[in-house]
Amino acid sequence: MKLENRLPAEGINSSDETPLKELAWLVAGGLVAVFLLVFTVSLAVQWLAPRIPYKYEAKLAATLPPFATTPDNEAGKAVQKELQGIADRLAAQMQLPSEMVLRIGYRDEATVNAFATLGGQVVFFRGLLTRLESEDALAMVMAHELAHLKYRHASVALGRGVAIGVILSVISSDLGSSAAGNVLSTAGLATLLSFNRDQERDADDAALHALHAEYGHIGGAVDLFNVMQTLPGGKRESSSAAVELLRTHPLTQSRVNSVATWASNNGAATDRPRRPLPPAIASLRGVI
């Protein structure tokens, strides 16, 4: 048998298809798969997180820096005490987790905001308190934040962030560990702007029930949203709005309309005498 070295056939290594096209399809397919996985996991976490016993959230919160800290001056302590008293009264109307210990913090900062986070913590800023004219309006904010605690929205946000970090680790271990680590290391702040619009609407609804039960009307909600509409960004939706309170919440006009609808459906009054602000909080009205 005679062996010979033959030249390869002409064009054996060429193709009408460009490898870049195949790469593009692979990348696109991978991104779609990751998106679907993240979406599915987010839905699963949203269902699971509120069903995990609260004691585990409390244990996690105990390992993180507290957000509801005690002010270092007597005036701040007096404001914090009054906020805590309002929260305790409203909490009695809202069926919070039985093991939850409410801690209301106060920060002497000009930020127009209040937020709820892990471990039964709610923080109010001076910038918001100076713009509220009645206890009723303040109670609406408080009840809204307590509703986030009731529905465990902070746990949902944290779980979603960690889950996404784990998924990203499939793409890159460094990327995944960095994402998950950042969520855990800033867990309180991670919940601040991550509640979705449906959660905000649920919180508003629960707050209106609590407000009506405590005050006999929901005029405080009307007052609050009227104030919000006068603030920068209050009449428009903007991811860069200067007022933090508005960033993840439904459009203020939509909330005003929802209050009117809720009042009509529940036979609730919206124009009754308001309770004055407690004295320490009222004293902030001259400070902007």
b or e along 84-109 (b: 16 or more beta carbons within 10 Å of the residue's beta carbon)?
bebbeebbebbebbeebebbbbbbbe
Q: Quick check: is 8 in a domain?
A: no
Structure confidence at residue 242 as a pLDDT band (50, 70, 90): very low
Average confidence (pLDDT) over 219-224: 95
Place of tokens 């986030």: 148
Tell whether 200 and 233 lie within a shared domain.
yes
The chain-wide mean pLDDT, for the chain, equals: 80
What pLDDT, on a 0 to 100 scale, did the predictor assign at position 167?
57
**Domain limits at 99?**
71-155+186-286
Helical residues (DSSP H) of the chain, grouped into ranges:
19-48, 54-62, 74-91, 126-129, 135-150, 153-171, 173-185, 187-192, 197-215, 219-229, 252-266, 279-282
Q: Quick check: is 4 in a domain?
A: no
Most confidently predicted of 94-98, 164-168, 215-219, 236-240? 215-219
What pLDDT, on a 0 to 100 scale, did the predictor assign at position 11?
61
pLDDT higher than threshold 90 for residue 134: yes
* Residue 13 burial (C-beta neighbours within 10 Å; 0-12, 13-18, 19+): exposed
Q: Quick check: is 5 in a domain?
A: no
Give yes or no for a contact between 115 and 257, defined as CB atoms under 8 angstroms apart.
Answer: no
b or e along 258-270 (b: 16 or more beta carbons within 10 Å of the residue's beta carbon)?
bbeebbeeeebeb
What's the rounded Cα separation, in Å, for the pair 140 and 90?
10
Last residue of some domain: 146, 166, 184? 184
Q: Quick check: is 14 in a domain?
A: no
Higher pLDDT, 70 or 8: 70
Structure confidence at residue 169 as a pLDDT band (50, 70, 90): low
Tell whether 139 and 28 lie within a shared domain.
no
Taking each helix axis as running N to C, give the angle between helix 19-48 and helix 153-171, from 0 to 180 degrees, rounded to the nearest 10.
Answer: 150
Tell whether 219 and 263 lie within a shared domain.
yes
Domain count for the chain, please give it: 2
Task: Provide, rounded to the nearest whole percent, the portion of the chain with pLDDT above 90.
Answer: 45
Structure confidence at residue 110 as a pLDDT band (50, 70, 90): very high
Higher pLDDT, 41 or 272: 272
What pLDDT, on a 0 to 100 scale, did the predictor assign at position 223?
95
What pLDDT, on a 0 to 100 scale, did the predictor assign at position 256?
84
Encode pLDDT of 41-67 as tens digits: 777 767 787 788 899 889 988 888 888
Average confidence (pLDDT) over 169-190: 49
Encode pLDDT of 275-284 as tens digits: 999 999 999 9
Encode pLDDT of 60-107 as tens digits: 888 888 889 999 999 999 999 999 999 999 999 999 998 999 999 999
What pLDDT, on a 0 to 100 scale, did the predictor assign at position 236?
41
Structure confidence at residue 1 as a pLDDT band (50, 70, 90): low
Higher pLDDT, 132 or 186: 132
Q: Specify the amino acid at residue 188.
A: G
Tell whether 105 and 45 lie within a shared domain.
no
What's the rounded Cα separation, in Å, for the pair 178 and 180?
6
User: Strand order of the sheet with strand 103-107?
Assistant: 103-107, 121-125, 114-117
Q: How many CB atoms lie within 10 A of CB 137?
A: 25
Quote the Cα angle for 154-156-160, to 5°. Answer: 120
Tell whether 168 and 280 lie within a shared domain.
no
Last residue of some domain: 168, 184, 200? 184
First to last CA, the chain: 100
Any idea what DSSP says for residue 64? S
What are the distances in angstroms from CA 72 to CA 80, 107, 135, 188, 189?
11, 10, 24, 21, 22
What pLDDT, on a 0 to 100 scale, did the predictor assign at position 164?
58
Give yes or no for a contact between 37 and 94, defined as CB atoms under 8 angstroms apart.
Answer: no
Q: Which two tokens stand for residue 237?
A: 């939706």
Q: Quick check: is 7 in a domain?
A: no
Place of tokens 């508003």: 204
